[in-house]
Amino acid sequence: MVQTQLSQSELEVLFMGAMDDALSDQDVEKLERELAASPDLNEKFERYQRTVQALQRVPREQAPEALATLIMRRSRRRRAFNHRALLEAHTYYRVPAEVIVPIIIAALVVAYFVFLG
> CA nearest 15: which of 44, 39, 38?
44
The span from the CA of 85 to the CA of 93, in Å, is: 12
The span from the CA of 35 to the CA of 110, in Å, is: 82
What does the domain layout of the chain look like in residue ranges? 8-57, 67-116
Which pLDDT band, with edges at 50, 70 and 90, does 99 fall under?
Answer: confident
C-beta of residue 35 within 8 angstroms of C-beta of residue 42:
yes
pLDDT digits (tens, 9 = 90+) for 9-59: 888 888 888 888 888 999 999 888 888 988 888 898 999 899 989 998 999
